[in-house]
């Protein structure tokens, strides 16, 4: 793992942000190991929520490493932390969980202040090929290597402090080059893959998904405004701008695709193994669905891009961990790639159906009664139906592939695990929505669009609700911020319910006027 990646992960753990003021993660880590006494007093460690922080007598939103130790150097939280760890996981309350997270932060800081976590020295004589930190017991090295490690690291820290004053970084850079040569010479396995390291550094530097999120918002938002203008009054002079925005969104989509591929290359496995990676892939699938069904309708194209940006925004929240980790054995099955790829792609098509349903209900309320308006609603409803049918097919296939994966991993095809159960519920719900037109009394555009919106609640429950709030083999455990997201989701569906009520009333009034 490159130091750049390590520093990013450490800063996110400690500060809950990608940067610390004007310092990037590398500058933060270098400053901390070069000037540990100073950083022990800096209030940058992210504290728990305000109520818990007050009970623990910690400042909010940030506290310093010194704050958790008394004048004699005793760890103030020791007894409470030990009590929390001794409890069974089901018995731990919010205070216990926050204490354990705080303890993790303090442990990380302790290791860094003692030059731990920096596994930068390989030992060619070690049969386990372990890489050691400057704070480890170096007696396992030969005398010559031990002296080199101790002297070179201390000399590097000294030169860093000098360079901070002079601004000349040539000496620290030369020492790093010497360390690099030491690593190459003693890395006998070898563990260092130069091309993957370069790829990971490029991946970190480009910040692909955050940039894609911003561009989806900008281009998708502009295209959505123009698409609505075209709905009101079609203007041919806007056509070049529309094509320009479509081209821009397609370019961002290609960049997004490149980011997923690059992450795949770096990790060595399909990048949809955790909640962060899956959200990135859902965003990709949503934009793809918008592109597929937006060829003849600009509005669908714009909605796909905009919703893709929203999903990437959710993936960038603090409770989603973007770390590239190692797969646990149960996730190393090739069926994982097929199952998750297919079933999560379905979420993108369902998302397009959700958005088109909302747009159609808005058109039912706000557009004047006319043949042109009716045709628009009919066209969008057809696209909605096609998107849901594709989503349903993918969801069904993905569920069957999941059963094969379950049999390989757990020795049974189906066990009514919450994830399996909700996947089946989602299939049934969308099967009803896509076939509702076959019921003579229920065959109308308003009901279909309303159901296409509310059906998406089952997708959210399958994807997020099961993972974080229900107990099962797919559960991640409750995470900070998820409960707040669900509050916003509930409010959104309440708003949709209000929208559905007013659209129904508008349709009923129009029907009565026609009958008169």
Query: What is residue 428's predicted lDDT score, i.e. its pLDDT?
Result: 93
Residue 411 lies in a domain: yes
Task: Name the packing angle between helices 275-293 and 239-267 (round to 10°).
Answer: 150
Q: Which of 379, 375, 402, 209 is nearest to 287 (CA)?
A: 209
The answer to whether residues 197 and 310 belong to one domain is yes
| Mean pLDDT of all residues in 17-30 | 86
Residue with tokens 């996947």: 423
What's the rounded Cα separation, in Å, for the pair 22 and 146?
Answer: 36
Mean pLDDT of all residues belonging to the chain: 81
Out of 234-238, 396-400, 471-475, pick the least confident: 471-475
Query: What is residue 177's predicted lDDT score, i.e. its pLDDT?
Result: 85
- The residue among 152, 173, 192 that closes a domain is 192
Out of 31-35, 119-123, 165-169, 387-391, pick the least confident: 119-123
Q: Is 479 exposed, middle or buried (0-12, 13-18, 19+ CB in 10 A)?
A: middle
The answer to whether residues 186 and 198 belong to one domain is no
pLDDT beyond 70 at 364: yes
Query: What is residue 226's predicted lDDT score, i.e. its pLDDT?
Result: 87
Residue 334 lies in a domain: no
Q: How does pLDDT run across 85-143, given as a tens digit for each residue?
A: 888 877 888 788 888 888 888 998 888 888 878 888 887 777 777 788 877 777 777 76
The number of C-alpha atoms within 13 Å of 293 and in the hemisphere containing its C-beta is: 32
Residue 349 lies in a domain: no
Residue 345 lies in a domain: no
Query: What is residue 485's predicted lDDT score, i.e. its pLDDT?
Result: 65
Query: What is residue 401's predicted lDDT score, i.e. its pLDDT?
Result: 86
Residue 469 lies in a domain: yes
Span between the terminal Cα atoms of the chain, in Å: 74
The answer to whether residues 291 and 155 belong to one domain is no
The answer to whether residues 164 and 232 belong to one domain is no
Tell which wins on pLDDT, 339 or 138.
339
Tell which wins on pLDDT, 85 or 496.
85
Query: What is residue 515's predicted lDDT score, i.e. its pLDDT?
Result: 52
The answer to whether residues 491 and 417 belong to one domain is yes
Residue with tokens 């094969």: 404
For the chain, percent of residues with pLDDT exceeding 70:
88
Q: How does pLDDT run across 121-135, given as a tens digit for each residue?
A: 887 777 777 788 877
Residue 336 lies in a domain: no
Residue with tokens 């591929």: 261
Report whether the peptide linkage leading into residue 165 is cis, meaning its omega lies within 30 degrees of zero.
no
The answer to whether residues 101 and 158 belong to one domain is no
Pair of tokens at residue 264: 């795949």
What's the rounded Cα separation, in Å, for the pair 217 and 19?
Answer: 23
Identify the bridge partners of residue 20 per DSSP, sorted by sequence position.
23
| Mean pLDDT of all residues in 313-323 | 75
- Band of pLDDT at residue 329, cut at 50, 70 and 90: low
Range of the domain at 282: 193-327
The answer to whether residues 361 and 488 belong to one domain is yes
Pair of tokens at residue 473: 């083999």
Out of 51-65, 87-101, 430-444, 486-500, pick the least confident: 486-500
Query: What is residue 484's predicted lDDT score, i.e. its pLDDT?
Result: 63
Query: What is residue 436's predicted lDDT score, i.e. its pLDDT?
Result: 84
pLDDT beyond 50 at 477: no
The answer to whether residues 433 and 385 belong to one domain is yes
The answer to whether residues 19 and 102 belong to one domain is yes
What's the rounded Cα separation, in Å, for the pair 278 and 153?
Answer: 40
Query: What is residue 257's predicted lDDT score, i.e. its pLDDT?
Result: 95
- Helices within 233-333 (DSSP H only): 239-267, 275-293, 298-315
How many domains does the structure of the chain reveal? 4
Q: What is the CATH number of the domain that holds 247?
A: 1.20.120
| Mean pLDDT of all residues in 432-453 | 81
The SS3 call for residue 460 is helix
Query: What is residue 474's predicted lDDT score, i.e. its pLDDT?
Result: 55
Residue 347 lies in a domain: no
- The residue among 192, 207, 233 that closes a domain is 192
The answer to whether residues 42 and 26 belong to one domain is yes
The answer to whether residues 321 and 256 belong to one domain is yes
The answer to whether residues 367 and 500 belong to one domain is yes
- The residue among 113, 130, 160 that closes a domain is 113
Non-local CB neighbours of 8 within 8 Å, separated by 6+ positions: 18, 25, 204
Residue 211 lies in a domain: yes
Tell which wins on pLDDT, 28 or 229.
28
Tell me the backbone φ, ψ of residue 75, rounded to 5 degrees.
-75, 110
């Amino acid at each position: 793992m490159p130091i750049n990646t390590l520093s990013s992960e450490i800063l996110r753990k400690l500060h809950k942000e990608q940067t610390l003021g004007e310092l990037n993660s590398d500058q933060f880590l270098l400053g901390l190991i070069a000037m540990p006494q100073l950083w022990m007093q800096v209030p940058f460690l992210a504290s728990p929520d305000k109520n818990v922080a007050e009970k623990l007598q910690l400042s909010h939103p940030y506290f310093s490493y010194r704050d958790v130790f008394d004048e004699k150097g005793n760890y103030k939280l020791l007894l409470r932390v030990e009590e929390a760890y001794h409890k069974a996981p089901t018995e731990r309350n919010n205070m216990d969980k926050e204490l354990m997270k705080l303890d993790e932060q303090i442990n990380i800081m302790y290791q860094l202040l003692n030059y731990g976590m920096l596994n930068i020295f390989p030992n060619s004589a070690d049969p386990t090929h372990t890489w050691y930190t400057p704070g480890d017991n170096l007696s396992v090295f030969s005398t010559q290597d031990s002296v080199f490690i101790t002297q070179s690291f201390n000399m590097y820290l000294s030169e860093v402090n000098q360079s901070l004053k002079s601004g000349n970084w040539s000496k620290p850079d030369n020492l790093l080059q010497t360390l690099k040569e030491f690593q190459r010479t003693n890395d006998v396995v070898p563990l260092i893959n130069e091309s993957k390291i370069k790829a990971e550094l490029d991946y970190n530097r480009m910040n692909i998904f955050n940039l894609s999120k911003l561009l989806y918002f900008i281009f998708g938002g502009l295209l959505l405004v123009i698409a609505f203008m075209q709905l009101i009054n079609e203007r041919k002079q806007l056509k070049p701008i529309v094509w320009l925005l479509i081209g821009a969104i397609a370019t961002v989509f290609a960049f997004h695709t490149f980011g997923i591929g690059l992450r795949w290359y770096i990790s060595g496995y399909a990048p949809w193994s955790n909640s962060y990676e899956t959200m990135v892939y859902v965003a990709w699938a949503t934009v793809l669905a918008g592109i597929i069904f937006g060829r003849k309708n600009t509005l669908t194209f714009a909605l796909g891009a905009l919703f893709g940006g929203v999903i990437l925004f959710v993936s960038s929240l603090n409770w989603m961990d973007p770390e590239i980790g190692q797969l646990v054995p149960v996730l190393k099955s090739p069926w994982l790639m097929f199952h998750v790829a297919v079933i999560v792609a379905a979420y993108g098509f369902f998302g397009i159906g959700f958005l088109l349903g909302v747009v159609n209900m808005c058109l039912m309320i706000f557009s004047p009664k006319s043949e042109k308006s009716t045709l628009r609603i009919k066209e969008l409803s057809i696209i909605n139906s096609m998107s849901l049918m594709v989503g349903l097919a993918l969801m069904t296939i993905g569920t069957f592939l999941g059963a094969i994966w379950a049999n390989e991993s757990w020795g049974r095809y189906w066990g009514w695990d919450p994830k399996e159960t909700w996947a089946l519920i989602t299939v049934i719900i969308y099967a009803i929505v896509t076939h509702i037109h076959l019921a003579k009394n229920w065959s109308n555009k308003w009901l279909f669009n309303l159901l296409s919106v509310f059906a998406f609640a089952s997708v959210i429950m399958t994807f997020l609700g099961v993972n974080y709030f229900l107990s099962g083999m797919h559960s991640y455990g409750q995470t900070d911020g998820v409960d707040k997201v669900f509050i916003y989701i509930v409010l959104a569906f309440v708003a949709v319910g209000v929208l559905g009520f007013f659209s129904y009333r508008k349709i009923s009034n129009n029907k009565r006027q026609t009958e008169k």
